[in-house]
A and B are shown apart, each in its own frame.
Chain A
Amino acid sequence: MAQGGSLAALLAIGGLMPARAMSVDQQELLFDATSMEDAIRALGGMPATGTQITLSLPDVVDDGALVPVTVESQLPGISEIYLLVEANPNPVAARFTIPPGTEAYISTRIKIAETCRVFAVVRSAAGLYTVARRSQVTVGGCG
């Protein structure tokens, strides 16, 4: 889609971000973001691509209103997990806060407006990492 070019540009200049929590203002920017670019900026920059993150969701879904998604990671010191849906009116779908003693594992169900990529972003002791998967949606889930 049209956003691909600028996302690639962000990727090119992006680096590891500090593993600190964000301010209230940053949070509002994040959840109010209407594009992936704005959401990534509010997160603190483009996350590195993570190999130790597993994002599971169906390759093809009939009903975009009910898409099962599971995120799991073995990265040390994970404090937050985010789910972002590229094509939704507001890409940030949820933030999960993981205190010490709780595993970096979450399974839930989300809405996907149309065929697009879904991103899991984790905030670990070493910074932000992400993994993405494309899901093909037959009937969108935001109406």
Chain B
Amino acid sequence: MSSSASPAPGPIRIRARQRAGEGVTELVFLMPHPMETGLRKNPAGGFVPAHFISELRVSVQGRTVFEARLTAAVSRDPLLSLRFRGAQAGDRVTVDWLDTQGNRRSDSGLIV
């Protein structure tokens, strides 16, 4: 299926939309990341080391609206969608993650 080399993590893609008249924000975000389990063999016969996003946080204008602890059982390039209240169009949504190699990433987008 995939090659043995794991692609490097990339910028988080964020789409946040205010549902008309309901006060609910729908957020969908994709975090490019290999999410290696450590169980996958490389061509040399060894294992590709485990490497996955372990912690993540979503905040709106500095207020935490969602946190997660992930494992390698979340698919490659984790895609999550969730819904929260108390925000409005124009507010900034920020997604932060930390992976098992100590890498961090933070990206944000505006609610439309």
Contacts from A to B (Cβ < 8 Å): 27, 31, 65-67, 85, 88-90, 92-99, 101-103, 105-111, 141-143
Q: Is A108 a contact of B73 with CB atoms below 8 Å?
A: no
**B69 x A31 contact (CB < 8 A):** yes
Q: Are A110 and B75 in contact (CB under 8 A)?
A: yes
B68 at the interface (CB under 8 A from A): yes
Q: From A65, A90, A102, A109, give the contact of B82 (CB < 8 A).
A: A102
Q: Which B residues have a C-beta under 8 Å from some C-beta of A?
A: 1, 24, 37, 39-41, 64-76, 78-86
By a CB distance below 8 angstroms, the chain A residues around B72 are 111
- Determine if A105 and B83 form an interchain contact, defined as CB atoms under 8 angstroms apart: yes
Give every chain B residue within 8 A of A90 (Cβ-Cβ).
Answer: 71, 73
A99-B65, A99-B66, A101-B65 known; A94+B73 contact, CB < 8 A = yes
Cα of A120 to Cα of B70 in the assembled complex, Å: 14
Choose among B41, B70, B81 the residue that contacts A143 (Cβ–Cβ < 8 A).
B41
Decide if A101 touches B68 in the complex (CB within 8 Å). no
> With A96-B66, A106-B82 given, can you name 6 additional A-B contacts, CB distance below 8 Å?
A85-B73, A92-B71, A94-B73, A99-B67, A102-B85, A107-B82
Q: Which residues of A contact B67 (CB under 8 A)?
A: 96-97, 99
Contacts of B1 in A (CB 8 A): 65
In the complex, residue of chain A having the shortest beta-carbon distance to the beta carbon of B40: A143
How distant is the Cα of A96 from the Cα of B83 in the complex, in angstroms?
Answer: 13
